[in-house]
Amino acid sequence: MAAPNPKKSLGQHWLEDEASLLAMCEAARLDESDMVLEIGPGPGSLTQFLAEGAKRIIAVEFDKDLAEQLPERVKADNLEVVPEDILRFDFTRLPAGYKVVANIPYYLTSNLIRVLSETPNPPSLAVLLLQKEVAERVAAQPATMSLLSVTAQYYWRVTLDREVPAILFTPPPKVDSRILVLERLKEPLFANIDTRTFFRLVKAGFSQRRKTLLNALSAGLQLSRDEVSVMCGQAGIDPGRRAQTLSLEEWHSLYQAYNT
């Protein structure tokens, strides 16, 4: 069966390169006991390899035409196709310790990482093929941190795998891609922390990236500049710094000062 034409409106770019697909499977460390959730299987190029290496595959496909065709493209007894928006998917239906492997549309990245991070039943491992720049932003270190990188690194051990050139996709996107590996932390990064309050603080810090912590936190948390100065002093952080320069440990120190 010929591959369907990708739909530009859904950000579809098919990857048929066997070496890249196998690299994603290797990064997922698949074995025959694994339950795998594939997001956006498209014509099933990756699905075929997943079905051969894991116990069970649930493929969630938003495009109803592709969802209907997938069982014909990938004839595997261990494949279940779910025609649904992944952002509405009930992750609690999956067994604990499942894995996610996906070549996802670029527009979905931030929301998907947030959903995978915050679901009460997160995967033990997620291997995502993303726009190269975004993958590197998720793995960023202080100086170039973002709300996305803080969110990901709060919940996951983040590593970068191989690059996948744009020319290997059909149609080629405008930028290269890179494999991002998210391994769920077995223990919370920080003990005795209210996640909602922690991220309220972080979001306030990043709400005005060009401004100092003093100005951004004052506006975002509706605190006086004096209150923010005291809070930063208690945390041992210069209020003249910007949010992107802080490490997660420094955000934790700010959180503790904010909570006192």
Q: Are the folds of 8-184 and 195-258 the same?
A: no
Cα dihedral across residues 103, 49, 27, 151: positive or negative: positive
Q: How far apart are CA 210 and CA 179, in angstroms?
A: 30
| pLDDT confidence of residue 93 | 94
Is the CB of residue 129 less than 8 Å from the CB of residue 179? yes
Is the CB of residue 183 less than 8 Å from the CB of residue 206? no
| pLDDT confidence of residue 209 | 80
> Which residues, including other chains, have CB under 8 Å from residue 191's CB and lie 6 or more apart?
none
| pLDDT confidence of residue 83 | 97
| pLDDT confidence of residue 151 | 96
Q: What is the pTM of this model?
A: 0.93
Q: Where are the domains of the chain?
A: 8-184, 195-258
Q: What is the pLDDT of residues 79-95, one digit of tens each?
A: 999 999 999 999 999 99
Q: How far apart are CA 175 and CA 44, in angstroms?
A: 22
Adjacent-strand bridge partners of 159: 181
Q: How far apart are CA 183 and CA 155, in angstroms?
A: 9
Is the CB of residue 58 less than 8 Å from the CB of residue 78? no
CATH node for 8-184: 3.40.50.150
Give me the amino acid identity at 125.
L
| pLDDT confidence of residue 9 | 63
Greatest Cα-to-Cα distance within the chain, rounded to the nearest angstrom: 67
Lookup: tokens for 160: 């970068």
pLDDT averaged over 10-residue windows placed end to end, the chain, 260 residues: 62 88 97 96 96 97 94 96 96 97 89 95 97 96 96 98 96 95 95 95 93 96 97 98 98 95
CATH node for 195-258: 1.10.8.100
| pLDDT confidence of residue 2 | 56
Strands 56-60 and 79-82: parallel
- Nearest alpha carbon to residue 177 among 17, 10, 25: 17
| pLDDT confidence of residue 107 | 83
DSSP characters over 129-185: EEEHHHHHHHT--TTS--HHHHHHHHHEEEEEEEEE-GGGEES--SS-EEEEEEEE-
| pLDDT confidence of residue 14 | 86
